[in-house]
Amino acid sequence: MSGSLLPRARLLGGAEIAAILVFAACFAVPMMTKSVLVFSVLNQALVGVVAAQSVWIMLRMNLMSFASPAFMAIGGYTVAIAGQYEITNVFLLTAAAFILPALVAIPLGALVLRLRGTYFVLVTFVLSQIMQLLLFETPGLTGGSNGISGIPPVNVLGTDMATNRQVVLFACGIALLATVITACLTRYFKQHFAAIEENEILAESLGLVVWRYKALGFVVAAGIAGLAGFSLVTMLLTAHPSSFDSGTAVDFIAYTIIGGRASILGPVVGTALMVYATNLFGTHGQYAQGLYGVLILVVVLALRGGIVGTVETLVRKLRGAS
């Protein structure tokens, strides 16, 4: 009796369409420039935005997850191990990178979704620590502290994605796919997620089968994170435990919070700006963390809607005034 109580929203809203158009437009960038720097920054942003969307899905239900690096690792290592068996077909790999983390998320979700609020945060943090230790302790499968290098390029319809430009195009494709999945999920279940975000106990007492939507969100978020891992491994040509360090979860959370958690444009705008800003620091990239810190403080204390939310409010005010 769950779904029938709540009206279903239109499949895609303005923000969702805008986000999809942004990534469709990204395909044009590698055609217009040969700059290695542009390729590098764009590629980092395209990986980051997928991971940030995984965080954002859970935030729709007021759950902050630090587990994204763990699921990214599953997706990334799946592709790396498949590469050792010379499996490079993009459709096969994309399906595997999405489905395997999602499958792992089913039993894990049954465990961790019993917990709410801060307890959930702590447990997802523990999960990403466990994954990090597992990567080091299973050298037979994952190469241990050496990781897996020499991953063959992904093959798209007979073409190997070997050059910088092709890798960026591939990352565009993954980001677009992830955005479409995220947009459809969060739009279709908008009311359900919002009810859980607002007041879970009330939602449950009104007949919403809360665990079903939380589990669905968790599983899809894991699959999206797996896609981010696929994209990351393809960019780096190697799968290494340090790429999936639990500290990177902080970056993805920062992207989402700074961009704004109310709309899907939040993680998109947040990631784009933060990755760009990080590159402005040049060789002093570690200082970007300080910038994230300051911006998080500002957003939480003063601009609760993040960048996107603040811009929306400003636009509304300007419209009201005119």
Partner 1 sequence: MEQFLQAGIIGISLGAQYALLALGFTLIFGILGVVNFSHGGFYMLGGYVAYACVDRLGVPYPVAVLAAVGTTAALGWVFELLLIERLVDDHLATLMLTLGLYLVMSTAMLEVFGPLAMDFRFPITGALRFGPVYAPLENLVVLGICLTAIMGLWLVLFRTDIGRALRALADDRAVAMAQGLRPKLLFPAAFALATGLAGLTGALVTPILSLSPGVADPVLATSFLTVILGGLGSLGGAALAAFIVGIVEAYSSVYFGGSIGALILFVLVLLLLVFRPTGLLGREVRGA
Judged by the rule CB under 8 A, the positions of this chain that interact with partner 1 are 62, 64, 111-112, 114-123, 125-127, 129-130, 133-134, 136-137, 246-247, 250, 253-254, 257, 286-287, 289-290, 292-297, 299-301
Compute the residue count for the chain: 322
Query: Smaller CB distance to partner 1: residue 173 or 306?
Result: 306
Q: At closest approach, how far in Å is the CB of 138 from partner 1?
A: 10
Q: What's the closest the beta carbon of residue 234 comes to partner 1, in angstroms?
A: 27
Shortest spacing between CB 119 and partner 1, in angstroms: 4
Nearer to partner 1 (CB atom), residue 106 or residue 133: 133
| Three-state DSSP class for residue 52 | helix
Residue 277 or 296: the one with the smaller Cβ distance to partner 1 is 296
Half-sphere exposure of 125 (CA within 13 A, CB side): 10
CA-nearest of 279, 174, 177 to 232 is: 174
To partner 1, the closest distance from the beta carbon of 235 in angstroms equals 24
CB 256 within 8 A of CB 244: no
User: 149 forms bridges with which residues in the sheet?
Assistant: 238
Kindly tell me the burial class for residue 2, based on how many C-beta atoms sit within 10 Å of its own C-beta (0-12, 13-18, 19 or more). Answer: middle
Q: How far is the CB of 3 from partner 1 (least distance, A)?
A: 27
Contact 214, 62 (CB under 8 A): no
The single-letter DSSP state of residue 28 is T
3-state secondary structure 126-159: HHHHHHHHHHHHCHHHHCHHHCEECCCCCEECCE
Q: Taking the complex as a whole, how short is the minimal distance between the CB of residue 242 and partner 1, in angstroms?
A: 12
Instruction: DSSP letter for 10, please.
Output: P
Q: Using the minimum distance from each CB to partner 1, give the nearer residue, 93 or 295.
A: 295
Question: At its nearest, how many Å lie between partner 1 and the CB of residue 165?
Answer: 34
CB nearer to partner 1: pick between 59 and 82: 59
The conformation of residue 270, written as its DSSP 8-state character, comes to: H
Q: Which is nearer to partner 1, 112 or 168 (CB)?
A: 112
Query: 98 or 218: whose CB is closer to partner 1?
Result: 218
Tokens of 69: 């690096």
State which residue, 62 or 164, has the beta carbon closest to partner 1.
62
Q: How far is the CB of 1 from partner 1 (least distance, A)?
A: 27
314 in Cβ contact with 271 (< 8 Å): no
Dist. CA 5–CA 2, nearest whole Å: 6
How many other CB atoms sit within 10 Å of the CB of residue 193?
24
Q: With contact defined as beta carbons under 8 Å apart, do 54 and 252 qualify?
A: yes
